[in-house]
């Protein structure tokens, strides 16, 4: 769980640096959910005995647009097929 959140935060940070240097590289990150596009394969892990979801930690609806160069705290939730859901947070910086 923590490793997936770490990968999202790291991927978003690397993507921000790459895309800042050349706007045609990397992926746009305009919400917490679009941070998944910075992972290799552009998807959250599957087959881990449950499902992952991403939401904006500061939004009641879970989805808030992130302005370019602004940061947002995001929540990664893993809901196992049995048992209780667990969460971890990561930070992304918006970039068009």
Q: Which tens digit of pLDDT belongs to each residue from 7-57? A: 999 999 999 999 999 999 999 999 999 999 999 999 999 877 999 999 987
Please, are residues 78 and 85 in contact by the beta-carbon 8 Å criterion?
yes
Confidence tier at 79 by pLDDT (50, 70, 90)? very high
The token duo for 73 is 């705290």
The tokens 């240097």 sit on which residue?
21
Residues forming beta bridges with residue 54, ordered by sequence position: 76
Residues forming beta bridges with residue 86, ordered by sequence position: 78
Q: What is the value of pTM for the model shown?
A: 0.90
Please, are residues 95 and 29 in contact by the beta-carbon 8 Å criterion?
yes
Residues forming beta bridges with residue 79, ordered by sequence position: 51
């Amino acid at each position: 769980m923590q490793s997936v959140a770490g990968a999202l935060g790291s991927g978003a940070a690397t993507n921000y640096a790459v895309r800042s240097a050349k706007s045609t590289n990397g992926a746009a990150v305009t919400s917490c959910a679009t941070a998944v596009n910075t992972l290799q394969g552009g998807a959250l892990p599957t087959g881990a005995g449950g499902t992952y979801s991403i939401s904006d930690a500061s939004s009641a609806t879970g989805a808030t647009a992130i302005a370019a160069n602004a940061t947002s705290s995001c929540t990664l939730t893993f809901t196992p097929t049995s048992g209780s859901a667990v969460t971890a947070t990561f930070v992304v910086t918006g970039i068009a």
